[in-house]
Amino acid sequence: MNRIYSVWKYICRKKYLIVTVLGVVFVGFVGENSILKHAQNRILINEMKAEISTYETQHEQAEQTLKELKHNPKAITKIARERYFMKADDEDIFVLSDDGKTETGTKENETAE
């Protein structure tokens, strides 16, 4: 019983300190508007700003391409050939590839028997 009384007496003497520490802990770490949440939100805001700048540069490039397409008809054929692998009616396309072939015409991992 004496021990409980001494603990109670200690709490009564240090009540302002205990309340202050508990308040700081609650505001700093536990609450909905805690300092940790603010730090996480700041990081998220910075990431989103970087993403916005990336999208703005992509938008500017797309606008330039669209402006070029409206004023230059040769740009349409250039984009069609580069991006969509289209060809004109009167031309033939030959694809030359040497992936994996040696000088004798056999593949490197094949053995001649």
CA–CA separation, 91 and 30 (whole Å): 71
pTM: 0.51
**Radius of gyration from C-alpha coordinates of the chain:** 36
Phi, psi of 103 (to 5 degrees): -70, -30
Look at residue 113 in the predicted model and tell me its pLDDT.
47
Tens digits of per-residue pLDDT, 45-96?
Answer: 999 999 999 999 999 999 998 998 898 888 888 887 777 777 777 777 777 7
- More confident position, 42 or 33: 42
Summary mean pLDDT of the chain: 83
